[in-house]
Amino acid sequence: MMVSVARSPDPSHDGAHMDSAAQRAGAVLTVDLGAVVENYRFLRKRAGGAVCAAVVKADAYGLGVDRIAPALARAGCRDFFVATLDEGMALRNVLGLGPRIAVLHGAPPRAEPDCLAAHLVPVLNGAEQLAAWRRLARDRGRSLPAILQVDTGMARFGFSQADLAHLLTAPDPFEGVALGLVMSHLACADTLDHPANAEQRVAFRSVRARLPGIPASLAASSGIFLGPEFHADLVRPGAALYGVNPQPGRPNPMRPVVRLQAHILQLRDVATGVGIGYGHAAVAHRPMRLAVVAAGYADGYLRSASGRGMAFAGPYPLSVLGRVSMDSLILDVTDVPPEHVPLGGCVDLIGPGHGLDAVAEAAGTIGYEVLTSLGARYHRIYREA
């Protein structure tokens, strides 16, 4: 099936009134660009005086970077982060020259000229990347912008603090490199009272002291909520822009961005004792009415939600029965008034009263993975900001 991307906004959430492409698709994903922009403004405000960048890696967490990034740019965002060079090159084509686009993984070996040609700013994560960027600067006879990443306690990307100390003993360690930012990343920011947060903040302060005058960035979505001491000069939210709760266990301050509605393909009544779906992982414990809906693990409806996931038909909660299949799943609609679950109608897999984080929890994962798994078969509707 082709990926169908609706270019015209369709505010309808009612299966009966969807346009024909949406009606034809098994399931419809509605992305609210206005909510993304509101979330951006809210985070920018929470970050006080810090610049608010936007992390749009992995196709803007699965939501479509070619729609998300321009909406954020129109809302005043001038700094974008992607993970890979290819993502950066694609985003440059979307945004044109102007916004700063940083590549978190930096440039792969020998791809530095491509990075420069697309006006992308590499995050330098180690001595090899720094040396390669300095060589390119020397070859081009001018200084080249870059971001320096230092690891303050995650053991993932960046110069270790010892590497940095060693680096700074050299006469002109950043010759030819215009450092526009020094950054680090928090490992445990989603846990408010985790001791690693304060440790990383202290380590980051000493990193900044070694690089006076260079703007600094530490916080992603959750870090913004740890308080002003974490904001530095620039914050880098991703997930919270898209509605993921940056403070798990507390009320979600973000506006929901996605709604996922799946069509009911088949209804059936089964007697007590009937095995339901693959492996008969569920068995009807009473006479039951089942709805088979058009989303499965090939669409990113995670198989780990088998027997645990929930959907909604208006106010009525529906349990996922048995195993999630590749292209479908089975819901218990026994106690729902039939007019709420008509053949060809829609149920909410992600939606009001059943947000990303609840869906993630039922699948034993996090909202980030639910978003980045959203499938290519969904018909996509973008509601304009």
Ligand X SMILES: *Cc1c(COP(=O)(O)O)cnc(C)c1O
Does 278 participate in catalysis according to the annotation?
A: yes
Q: Which is nearer to ligand X, 2 or 155 (CB)?
A: 155
Closer CB to ligand X, 104 or 121, in the complex: 104
Place of tokens 């909202």: 367
From the CB of 37, what's the least distance to ligand X, in Å? 16
Contacts of 211 (CB under 8 A, 6+ apart): 148, 179, 182
Residues in contact with ligand X by CB under 6 A are: 55, 57, 104, 185, 220-221, 236-240
Binding positions for substrate are 156, 326
> Residues 45, 61, 242, 278: which is the catalytic one?
278
Give the shortest CB-56-to-ligand X separation in angstroms: 10
Q: How far is the CB of 220 from ligand X (least distance, A)?
A: 3
Nearest distance in Å: CB 203, ligand X = 16
Query: Active-site residue 57, yes or no?
Result: yes
**Closest distance to ligand X from the beta carbon of 236 (Å):** 4
Residues serving a catalytic function are 57, 278
